[in-house]
């Protein structure tokens, strides 16, 4: 029995709202119903996001998948975004993506990390 399909929408949304963004990403791998709910029908996953850029020496497919996850964020749902920076290039790409996607309801943006100078 899949509780995401059995319980009322508000109950399921409340359960997921108490989970971190990373936990919700993991939950999208449980089954199609969970994935669909989290990606399409729930604000829980997108309201308060914390992400870490992959490091420069990470595999290219991991870097690409990280940007795909960020691009899935519904800009009109994100209120708080915290980005831990391990790669200057990916941090810049993330900020450009946010600007392009019109994250117009963003209330808090926190960037954490040391960015090498352009020197």
What tens digit of pLDDT does each residue of 14-31 get? 888 888 888 888 888 888
Identify the residue whose tokens are 């100078």.
117
Residue 56 near residue 92, CB atoms below 8 Å: no
Task: With a cut of 60, say whether residue 6 has pLDDT above it.
Answer: yes
Mean pLDDT to the nearest integer, 100-110: 91
Q: In what order do the strands lie in the sheet with 108-112?
A: 48-52, 80-84, 108-112
Residue 110 near residue 102, CB atoms below 8 Å: no
What pLDDT was estimated at residue 81? 93
What pLDDT was estimated at residue 117? 61
How far apart (Å, rounded) are the C-alpha atoms in residues 55 and 74? Answer: 25
What pLDDT was estimated at residue 111? 93
78-94 pLDDT, tens digit each: 899 999 999 988 999 99
What pLDDT was estimated at residue 118? 52
């Amino acid at each position: 029995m899949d509780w995401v399909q059995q319980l009322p929408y508000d109950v399921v949304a409340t359960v997921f709202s108490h989970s971190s963004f990373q936990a919700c990403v993991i939950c999208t791998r449980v089954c199609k119903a969970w994935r669909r709910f989290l990606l399409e029908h729930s604000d829980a996953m997108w309201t308060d996001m914390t992400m870490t850029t992959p490091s420069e020496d990470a595999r290219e497919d991991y870097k690409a998948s990280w940007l795909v996850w960020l691009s899935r964020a519904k800009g009109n749902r994100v209120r708080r975004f915290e980005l831990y920076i391990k790669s200057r290039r990916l941090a810049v790409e993330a900020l450009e993506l946010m600007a392009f996607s019109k994250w117009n309801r963003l209330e808090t943006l926190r960037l954490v990390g040391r960015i090498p100078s352009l020197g």
